Amino acid sequence: MEVAPLSCPGSPDAAPCGLLCLPPVRRKALLLFAMLFLCLYLFYAGSCASLHPGVLLQGPEDSKGRAGLLARLLLLRPPLEVPQDRTPSPEPPDEADYPEPREPGPLSSFYNGAGSRKLPQALIIGVKKGGTRALLEFLRVHPDIRAVGAEPHFFDRNYDKGFSWYRDLMPRTLDGQITMEKTPSYFVTKEAPARISAMAKDAKLIVVVRDPVTRAISDYTQTLSKRPDIPTFENLTFKNRTTGLIDTSWSAIQIGIYAKHLENWLQYFPMNQILFVSGERLITDPSGELGRVQDFLGLKRIITDKHFYFNKTKGFPCLKKAEGSSKPHCLGKTKGRTHPNIDQEVVQRLREFYRPFNLKFYQMTGHNFGWD
Ligand SMILES: *[C@@H]1O[C@H](CO)[C@@H](O)[C@H](O)[C@H]1NC(C)=O
Ligand SMILES: *[C@@H]1O[C@H](CO)[C@@H](O)[C@H](O)[C@H]1NC(C)=O
Ligand SMILES: *[C@@H]1O[C@H](CO)[C@@H](O)[C@H](O)[C@H]1NC(C)=O
């Protein structure tokens, strides 16, 4: 840095030269020193507002003086402290006050280094093709929810990798934030309830359920799109088409016997720790279902109808802005997939098959999902 020549002894305008009369080297040193203090002042005044009040109070009284303060600011300032101020605003978002997408930037990469990885306190455990992805994407709008993007499959396929492997998959969270993951196969995994209970007896479980018949068809359609050589839906559904005996061992059918799977979970979790989200209502009334989920998780209702719009062409609700992107995120992304034409007789037979299980499920949950 160049210091412009200033008036010095001997020059015509030398009279009140004061500090500026120092030799250039010392002048530079002094300038640097002044800048250091200015920076320190700005840093302190600017950033300390977001520090924990305790730190703020201790700072100026520190007997070790500025050096101690500097050490505090540079070393002892725990990154964790900063976003503690990031409490949700006391009022629900105003109109047009949508959450900003959390795009990676210098600030967010700083935040990402903050907090710690925790085992999930809440899990979306099912069901496949129920709308679990949409629910998770909608929930990620909430500032107090941090969720793994991919499906960890820890409690079914990766349990032998241990809890530290599992924890390392989790995003960092700050105090008060909820860590979540979703793996839809947990709901039908025999060992999952005991294993999740061993991790956290108080874990909150969310199950997105949908009419088991449409779920089965959607499940089959997805498999068919990956493996076009599989037998027809009818062939897989029946053990014997003539007698109408249904093959309950076929996963597409088996997953929809919700009452049976739920019994397994109730051996380990009380009903009030399990929330059932209607996959149908998630489409017709996303903000209503999201309201129930936020209540269940003990969170403020931040996600409201203002976050959604309905795409009439698609026939599905979309998030105005999805978390981490500026593009809308819609339910029913794969709606374009052509469903195979399924014999209405087969559909009727399946409805009959599921009816008693559905009624049992309504009784157990105290909620009529209206599939019959
Ligand atoms: C479906 O089953 C029928 C008899 O039940 C059989 O003739 C036919 O080959 C099967 N089709 C496929 C694709 O498996
Ligand atoms: C289906 O059931 C009918 C009537 O019981 C029986 O005659 C037939 O052999 C069965 N078919 C198969 C493939 O099991
Ligand atoms: C609605 O969905 C259609 C069909 O997927 C798409 O082409 C269109 O861009 C969407 N519109 C909005 C506003 O999301």
Pocket test for ligand 2, best of 236, 243, 247 (most atoms within 8 A of CB): 243
Q: Give the separation between CA 145 and CA 198, rounded to whole angstroms.
A: 23
- Beta-bridge partner residues of 59: none
239 C-beta closer than 6 A to ligand 1? no
What is the distance, to the nearest Å, from the Cα of residue 294 to the centroid of all Cα atoms in its chain?
12
Instruction: Count other Cβ atoms within 10 Å, centred on residue 143.
Output: 20
Q: What pLDDT, on a 0 to 100 scale, did the predictor assign at position 209?
A: 98
Distance 182 CA to ligand 3 centre (A): 27
Q: What pLDDT, on a 0 to 100 scale, did the predictor assign at position 113?
A: 67
Q: Whose CA is nearest to atom 11 of ligand 1?
A: 231
Q: What pLDDT, on a 0 to 100 scale, did the predictor assign at position 4?
A: 45
Q: Letter for the amino acid at 91?
A: E
CB-based contacts of 95, cutoff 8 Å, min separation 6:
306
Q: What pLDDT, on a 0 to 100 scale, did the predictor assign at position 114?
A: 83
Please state the atom number of ligand 3 nearest to the C-alpha of residue 311: 1
Q: Give the separation between CA 123 and CA 196, rounded to whole angstroms.
A: 9
Whose tokens are 């203002």? That residue is 306
pLDDT by 10s per residue, the chain, length 372? 444 444 444 444 444 444 444 555 565 665 555 555 554 454 444 443 333 333 333 333 333 344 434 433 333 333 332 333 333 333 222 222 223 333 343 454 455 568 999 999 999 999 999 999 999 999 999 999 999 989 999 999 999 999 999 999 999 999 999 999 999 999 999 999 999 999 999 999 999 999 999 999 999 999 999 999 999 999 999 999 999 999 999 999 999 999 999 999 999 999 999 999 999 999 999 999 999 999 999 999 999 999 999 988 888 899 887 666 666 777 765 545 667 789 999 999 999 999 999 999 999 999 999 998
Residues 123, 197 contacting (CB under 8 angstroms): no
Whose tokens are 């719009």? That residue is 309
Ligand number, closest to the Cα atom of 242:
2
Residues 186, 120 contacting (CB under 8 angstroms): no
Tokens representing 291 are 């309201």
**Cα-Cα end-to-end distance for the chain:** 80
Q: Give the separation between CA 237 and CA 79, rounded to whole angstroms.
A: 56
Tokens representing 180 are 């979540």
235 C-beta closer than 6 A to ligand 1? yes
The answer to whether the predicted template modeling score (pTM) of the entire model surpasses 0.75 is no
Strands 245-246 and 238-240: antiparallel
Q: What pLDDT, on a 0 to 100 scale, did the predictor assign at position 58?
A: 37
Q: Give the separation between CA 298 and CA 173, rounded to whole angstroms.
A: 16
Q: What pLDDT, on a 0 to 100 scale, did the predictor assign at position 41?
A: 52
Positions annotated as catalytic residues are: 129
Q: What pLDDT, on a 0 to 100 scale, did the predictor assign at position 165?
A: 98
Distance 363 CA to ligand 3 centre (A): 39
